[in-house]
Amino acid sequence: MDILNVLPEATFAALDDLLTFISIYDDRARTRAYLRLLRAHRRTIAGAVCVDAGCGMGYFSEELVRLGARRVYAVEANPHLYALASERLAAYPEVVCVHQEIQQFEPEEPVDVLVHEFFGPLLYDEDLHVLEALRFRPRLVLPDRAVLMGGLAWTEQVADETVTPAVVRRLEGALVSGLFDEGDLPLQFPVVRWAFGQAEREVVCDLSGREGDLLYLGLQIYHGDRLICQAGRCPNWPYVWTPRMGDRFRLRFAPAERGAEVHFAWL
């Protein structure tokens, strides 16, 4: 969904984010996986004070109430999503909807559980950095870690009539999401990691000894050892592709006003 007419910048940004973020609900596998994660922690959630950071439409807040949370702060920065979540959650007295950036939010009581989903297809390329600037310290963060994995394939194996090997060669230096179907291409090696409180925003990855002329990157979200969501299986996070131009590349993420900038270079 794209807005095609000229609008004042702030109006455009808020509506554009609204349209981007509601499209994640087309990915039912993602939402179901998160709800399963919450249910797996029902004992901790029952009676707890919870924060649903970037609550979107408020589905996770609703589930936290169902699981017996004593209070749920549903915090959302986007004015349209905040309004939609407030309508949806109005029936639950345990929920306090807050229209604020999560970095500015200062709850009046200690927080037991934080739930979030700020992951981009390249891990740090959406809003994950906001969790580094919280003004409160939750006892449990769901989920608590993620890895951007990499793999190598041969372009000839995955190319089709539209995205031919000649087209792929033109994409030097560009990280392109959804260029091909993931098929059963395995995620082979870790590239960048995130754990709550431990952000790794710049890496150099060495591909020496690995075969293939096409690099792909895909997200895996974990809680502890348990795999919650994976690129390809959850369409919200497609693989990201680029032609291989060497054995080493640098990937760097810089927080920006909206999301994060991604810097990528072959060394």
Ligand X SMILES: C[S@@+](CC[C@H](N)C(=O)[O-])C[C@H]1O[C@@H](n2cnc3c(N)ncnc32)[C@H](O)[C@@H]1O
Give residues in contact with ligand X (CB under 6 A).
17, 21, 24, 54-56, 59-60, 75-78, 81, 101-103, 117-118, 127, 130
Closer CB to ligand X, 22 or 245, in the complex: 22
Closest approach, Cβ 245 to ligand X, in A, equals 31
Is the CB of residue 58 less than 8 Å from the CB of residue 74? Answer: yes
Closest approach, Cβ 177 to ligand X, in A, equals 15
Q: Please classify residue 91 by burial: count the beta carbons closer than 10 Å to its beta carbon, then call 0-12 exposed, 13-18 middle and 19+ buried.
A: exposed
Task: Give bridge partners of residue 250 from the DSSP assignment.
Answer: 204, 265
Contacts of 221 (CB under 8 A, 6+ apart): 119, 143, 145, 146, 227, 228, 229, 230
Contacts of 212 (CB under 8 A, 6+ apart): 151, 152, 153, 154, 244
Q: Which residue is nearest to ligand X (CB)?
A: 54
Taking the C-alpha atoms of residue 169 and residue 151, their distance in angstroms, rounded to an integer, is 18
Closer CB to ligand X, 165 or 235, in the complex: 235
Closer CB to ligand X, 24 or 203, in the complex: 24
Closest approach, Cβ 18 to ligand X, in A, equals 8
Taking the C-alpha atoms of residue 198 and residue 145, their distance in angstroms, rounded to an integer, is 9
Closest approach, Cβ 103 to ligand X, in A, equals 6
Closer CB to ligand X, 51 or 153, in the complex: 51
CB neighbourhood size of 29 (10 A)? 13
Closest approach, Cβ 17 to ligand X, in A, equals 5
Closer CB to ligand X, 21 or 216, in the complex: 21
